[in-house]
Amino acid sequence: MGAPKINQNHPFMNREVIINLSNEMSNVLKMMAELEADFQKPFVSLDWRSPKEISVLLSLDTPNYKGTVCFHFDKKVAQKIIENMTGSAVDENSPDILDGVGEVSNMFYGAAKTKLNDIGFDLKISMPKPLWTKDLPEVIESHISMVVPLQIDGKDCFVEIIVF
Amino acid sequence: MFSPNTKFLVVDDFATMRKIVKKVLDELGYKNVVEAVDGKNALDLMNEHHSKNEPIQFVISDWNMPNMLGIDLLKNCRADDKFKTIPFMLVTAESEQTQIIDAAKAGVSEYVIKPFNAATLKTKIERVYQKVSAAAPTAKAG
């Protein structure tokens, strides 16, 4: 069986979506946490599962299309982001980790959404849902997705765009 | 600038962002900070503090929150004689023109787009102070 087929005309598979998400992630991480993000080549997958401990889901909805963007964080990276943002120590297993990555993902999405809506997307407002990756709903893990690997502070993280 | 005793209300459903805004306010010399987790909680706290004659004097609110959005909190404040002139700043990741216009129409004092740094927040607070001073030169907050 070859690589899963994806509708190349699907608006969420547009390179602008990936470019804007990547750019805004870089900007937010730099300004709020003084961290650099190094993006790698995206790939398409069916049934891909994040190997990282923490995930944040945001709906990616327009009037005609539905999807989800999922930010997957290494636990140590999440800890570093939050400690740099707040200036205080946080335990890597604390619920504060989920709260912090939820907020930072909200910034990634909000900034990218503004840019994408400026070029004709009609993305709606979305509430971030941070959770431990082991608690991800099954429906998220059984759809075709585009996965963008990146490194933050030398550790792997992922952006996943899931289309329904 | 506003008096160091000015009582701020920081409204955000994410504790991390409340902590960040509080840290910046602390760096600017403002130690009197109350926190709320959403718009509804904020309104309850504002009424509670008002009834104790220790009113909230400046609101810094997120836009995107469950239960009551920041924009709806702002509209509620502007519709209430007790809070209709309170300085109100929206801090949000949403920077689309239509939303900024909605916020301006609803009577927002300033609008801060995330991500932001301490210097940005300081500048915005100074601008609110200038507006408050211009509107009521003899009645300064704090």
Interchain contact, A111 vs B20, CB within 8 Å: no
Nearest CA distance, A47 vs chain B (angstrom): 31
Nearest C-alpha in A relative to B66: A127
Q: How confident is the model at residue A159 (pLDDT cuts 50, 70, 90)?
A: very high
A88/B19 touch (CB, cutoff 8 Å), yes or no: yes
Nearest to A105 by CA among A140, A65, A151, A57: A57
The nearest alpha carbon in chain A to B62 belongs to A103
A163 has pLDDT over 70: yes
Which of B91, B83, B73, B71 has its CA nearest to residue B18?
B91
* Chain B residues whose beta carbon lies within 8 Å of the beta carbon of residue A111: 93, 95, 114-115
Contact yes or no for A117 and B96 at CB 8 A: yes
Confidence of residue A83 (pLDDT cuts 50, 70, 90): very high
Structural domains in chain B, CATH included, are 8-115 (3.40.50.2300)
ipTM higher than the 0.85 cut: no
The CATH number assigned to the domain with range A11-163 reads 3.40.1550.10
For chain A, domain boundaries: 11-163
pTM: 0.87
Contact B93 A106 (CB under 8 A): yes
Q: Is the pLDDT of residue A3 over 80?
A: no
Q: What is the model's pLDDT at position A138?
A: 74
3-state helix/strand/coil string of B2-62: CCCCCCEEEECCCHHHHHHHHHHHHHCCCCCEEEECCHHHHHHHHHHHHHCCCCCCEEEEE
Q: What is residue A58's DSSP assignment?
A: E
Distance from the Cα of A154 to chain B's closest Cα (Å) equals 23
Averaged pLDDT for residues B112-125: 90
Alpha carbon separation from A74 to A150, B11, B137 (Å, rounded): 11, 28, 52
Residues from chain B that touch A95, judged by Cβ atoms under 8 A, are none
% of chain B exceeding 90 in pLDDT: 75
- Per-residue pLDDT of B32-86, as tens digits, reads 999 999 999 999 999 999 999 999 999 999 998 999 999 999 999 999 999 999 9
Return left, alpha or beta for A161; rule: phi > 0 is left, psi -120 to 50 is alpha, else beta: beta
